[in-house]
Amino acid sequence: MQRIITLLLASISLTAYAQESAQSDSLSKPVYYPELTLPAGDMGSVVQSYRFEEAKANLEKQMTQLKRRRKDTSALEAQLEICNKGIRGLSGTDKIVILDSLVLSKDKFLDGYTNMHDLGTITLSADGKTTSYTTELGNKMYEPVSILTDEGEPSSTFKCYYLENGAKVSSTILDGLEIDGELNYPFLMSDGVTFYFAARTTEGYGNYDLYVTRYDSEDDKFYRAENMGFPFSSYANDYMIVIDEANGIGWFASDRYQPEGKVCIYSFLYTPSRHPFDYENDDHKEIISYASLRSIKATWSPDNEYERIKARQRLSLSQTSTSNKQKSDFTFIINDNFTYTSLKDFHSEEAKAKFTEWQKATKALASDKSRLAKLRNDYAEASSLGKDSMKETILKLEAKVEQETKRCHEMEKEIRRAENQ
């Protein structure tokens, strides 16, 4: 019993990185990555199958019996806390849509982020232990730094370096995160406000979880970071989330269900707001399917099919290699079976004409989205005196982008209808 307690506590403790012998292509140095630890025995099976309600009921029966016999229940209480934490996680499970998954060697995990040219730069540290993030504009860089808590315990947080011509000119510690533990893998969205990272803490599920916070410009600090919960976080290591807001796509890494030395890069539909299940009324088997991500198809439905097709089109375009791009004029998904890369692929002249019109519209929309992202970033950094005039411009552009986005969506439907007739 004591061994079970020790293993359970170890599963939620701060553990060191495990060094791999693999070499980084760009750095030629050892690459470190998170070591995966899970509870042993029956509780390990529970957390990997998400059967928390069933396990909780069994534990409570056992505890009742032990209490009647005045026996120690501390081991069962530790397991019960894991179950309660899991139930709370399931009750907030986000109904996300996974587009695709790609399994890579852990030391090559950054190869799975294929659309970073417009999103900034992720850099592996010289010792291979951490990543830093430099914004697209090249004016800020975020990286983890070691600190001591008020109690003198080792912890870490993030430092923001201000850059000029690539050189560090000043720095500041991020204030307000209120997370004690091992923090790593930072990423700042193009809005200049939304900050993502991974953390291994006693508050989480045991290994690296994904967290999000936002910058409060009035108080000049970040809000308390929140665990993103299932399915972004899990009992495995989940880290390095990247969001492409303009294209509505995100990526994150996870070693759940992977053999030693492997990691899966999930791509998903990004939406600004969460869509949690109704835990009291929705089917618990479906919730567990979403929460665990054992099958990405569990997140697919007829309701999100159109959005998946559009996102896969954008994802396919971003993942096309440079050599293939030179051979292809574009990438346009007609359906699950056909992807067009040239105007000569079209059989319908009507569809071809509509596609040409759609290309012009999407190019203009991309330009407006880029301008909007820059305005939002400027707004976040502007003084209160300059924000009023900027706000009106942003609101007008947001309305235009929303209208043009709907128009482009309808044009895509018309293209596919014309081609599939």
Residue 3: pLDDT over 70 = no
* pTM across the whole model: 0.70
- State the sign of the Cα–Cα–Cα–Cα dihedral 185, 191, 192, 195: negative
From 234, 204, 259, select the one nearest 49 (Cα to Cα): 234
How confident is the model over 292-313, as a mean pLDDT? 91
The pair phi, psi for residue 101, each rounded to 5°, is: -145, 145
The bridge status of strand 209-216 relative to strand 221-222 is antiparallel
Which residue pairs, CB below 8 angstroms and at least 24 apart, start in 187-190?
A: 187/120, 187/122, 187/133, 187/240, 187/241, 187/242, 187/243, 188/120, 188/133, 188/135, 188/140, 188/142, 189/243, 189/245, 190/119, 190/136, 190/245, 190/246, 190/373, 190/376, 190/377
The burial class, CB within 10 Å (0-12 / 13-18 / 19+), for 130 is buried
- The separation between the first and the last C-alpha atoms of the chain, rounded to the nearest angstrom, is 67
What is the CA 394 to chain-centroid distance, rounded? 26
- Collapsing DSSP to helix, strand or coil, 333 comes out as strand
Residue 226: pLDDT over 90 = yes
Tell me the DSSP string of 275-332.
Answer: -B--TTTS-HHHHHHHHH-S-GGGG--GGGHHHHHHHHHHHHHHHS-HHHHHH-S--E
What residues does 142 pair with on adjacent strands?
A: 133, 160
What residues does 124 pair with on adjacent strands?
A: 131
Per-residue model confidence as pLDDT tens digits over 30-83: 555 688 888 888 899 999 999 999 999 999 999 999 999 999 999 999 999 999
Per-residue model confidence as pLDDT tens digits over 361-398: 988 888 888 788 778 877 777 777 667 778 888 888 88
> CA–CA separation, 349 vs 88, rounded Å?
54
Residue 150: pLDDT over 90 = no
* Cβ contact 135:126 at 8 Å: no
From 174, 170, 205, 169, select the one nearest 188 (Cα to Cα): 174
How confident is the model over 304-318, as a mean pLDDT? 82
Label residues 283-297 b or e (16+ Cβ within 10 Å = b): eeeebbbbbbbbebe
Domain boundaries, the chain: 38-90, 94-301, 320-420
The pair phi, psi for residue 213, each rounded to 5°, is: -150, 170
Distance set, CA 38 to CA 4, 18, 204, 410 (Å): 11, 15, 13, 47
> CA–CA separation, 239 vs 200, rounded Å?
10
Label residue 154 by pLDDT band (50, 70, 90): confident
Residue 323: pLDDT over 80 = no
* Cβ contact 354:415 at 8 Å: yes
